[in-house]
Structure 1
Amino acid sequence: MLEHLFGSKTRVKLLSLLFRNPSKDYFVRELTRKVGERINSVRHELANLQKIGLVKSKSRERKRYYQMNQSFPLYKELGDLVIKATGAPQAKLVQRILAMGDVRYAILTASFLGRGKTDSGVDMFIVGNINNDELKRFVRKLESEYDREIKYAVMNDRDFQYRMQIGDRFVRDMVSGEHTILVDTR
């Protein structure tokens, strides 16, 4: 869908990677490997994105590094569009999370969704009794798909309910902050 809107499959892949990791610097060959496209195509699209000001570059150690320009006037709006259109299909994530055990509640925070940082620093929050080995495999796979560390927190349902009752700041921030609910059977 976005290829038609943005005119290039390579541009969409670059934007998806860069919006998910807005503070990270990449050099051209690294981007080429990560998006799986030809180097000339990647260079061409980076030049286009740099020309409009969405991507900025700097030289370091005789290499040119590229990064999102977070002060671009339409940064948030474009980022929301790209992440929503290219994000991990929610149904697939839900299915993978439910396969880990008895999950009562699972959310992806704003930081995971590429919409800024959360006070807690957590990307994913899960409540339930789950298999920790399955969770670690799942998180490692997500980390390779998204090219970044995924920070997560897990607690059982009883601890979650108790912490909600006492007004625990961490749990309150998780539930009230910007997030996407994947599972909610509380």
Structure 2
Amino acid sequence: MIENLITSRTRVKMLFRFFLNSHSKAHLRGLADEFGESTNSVRLELNNLCKAGYLISTGEGNIIRYSANVDHPLYPELQKIAHKCLGLDKIVDNVINRLITRIGELDSAFITGDYADGKDTGIIDLVLVGKLSMQQVRGYVQKAEKMIDRKIRLLVLSAEEFEKNKKNLASETALYLWQKD
């Protein structure tokens, strides 16, 4: 869908990589390897996006790291586009919002793994924390999977289980979708 609007495949990959998660950082060679593209095509897109102000670059030794410019006026809109293209908005609408309104025992919901790192691999790792059972959640997740044409790998934890496993989960990048006030 977005490929029809943005004709550069490399630029689309960068949109997902940097705008799914505001904490995502990468360098030229790492992106070239990840995307299976030449360093020249990646460099060209990085330069274009930096020049336009969508990305910022910071030198760390002899490596330049790139990240999304969260202060850019279009950052929230670009993040929404990336989330919609990958179906994260459908997960929020069809899983999280339904759990909140019908069950009301959700403490937080976040994504880990490749999607939290900005990589579209087709499998979304969704973690739900609260007083929920897999049986309560599974139906909502299956409906969302059909809508977004991606597989959702689900982990449901109680608040106590989450506290026990916080260190293990903290080692991964987490993209928070919802958190109880």
TM-score, with structure 1 as normaliser: 0.52
Other-structure match for 1:22: 22
- Residues 73-108 of structure 1: CA distance to partner in whole angstroms, max 9, x if unpaired? 1100111012211347969xx9xxxxxxxxx99898
Q: 117, 124, 128: which is aligned to 2:127?
A: 124
Q: Secondary structure at the match of 2:67?
A: strand
Question: How do 1:86-165 residues align onto structure 2 when only pairs under 5 Å count?
Answer: 86-87=86-87, 109=109, 124-125=127-128, 127-129=132-134, 154-155=157-158
The residue that corresponds to 2:58 in the other structure is 58
Label 1:8 to 1:108 Cα distance change in 2 as closer, same or farther (>3 A).
farther
Cα RMSD, aligned residues only? 3.8
CA distance in 2, matches of 1:174, 1:75: 21
Aligned identity (percent) is 29
Give the distance between the partners of 1:108 and 1:13, measured in 2 at CA: 28
Matched residue, 2:4? 4
Structure 1 residue 28: Cα displacement: 0.5
CA contact (8 A) 1:54 1:72 kept: yes
- Could you report, residue by residue, the CA deviation over 1:110-169 in whole angstroms, capped at 9, with x for unpaired residues? 77798xxxxxxxx63162148xxxxxxxxxxxxxxxxxxxxx65139xxxxxxxxxxxxx
What CA deviation, in whole Å up to 9, does each residue of 1:48-82 have, x standing for no partner? Answer: 11111000101111111111000011100111012
Q: Distance in 1 between matches of 2:77 and 2:111?
A: 16
- The number of aligned residues is 121
Hey, what does 1:36 align to over in structure 2? 36
Contact 1:19/1:68 (8 A) holds in 2:
yes
Shift, 1:7, TM fit: 2.2
Aligned to 1:142: none
Is the contact between residue 18 and residue 68 of structure 1 (CA under 8 Å) also seen in structure 2? yes
The residue type paired with residue 49 of structure 2 is: L
State the match for 1:72 in structure 2.
72
For residue 81 of structure 2, what is the aligned residue in structure 1?
Answer: 81
Shift of 1:24: 3.1
- Gap change, CA 1:40 and 1:108, over 3 Å in 2: farther
Q: Using the TM superposition, give the Cα deviation of residue 3 of structure 1 relative to its aligned residue in structure 2, in angstroms.
A: 1.9
Structure 2 residue runs of 5 or longer lacking an equivalent are 95-102, 117-125, 136-154, 160-177
Distance in 2, Cα, partners of 1:34 & 1:64: 16
Instruction: Give the Cα–Cα distance (whole angstroms) in 2 for the partners of residues 16 and 3 of structure 1.
Output: 12
Structure 1 residues 61 and 36 mapped into 2: Cα distance closer, same or farther (>3 Å)? Answer: same
SS in structure 2 at match of 1:124: strand
SS in 2 for 1:71: coil
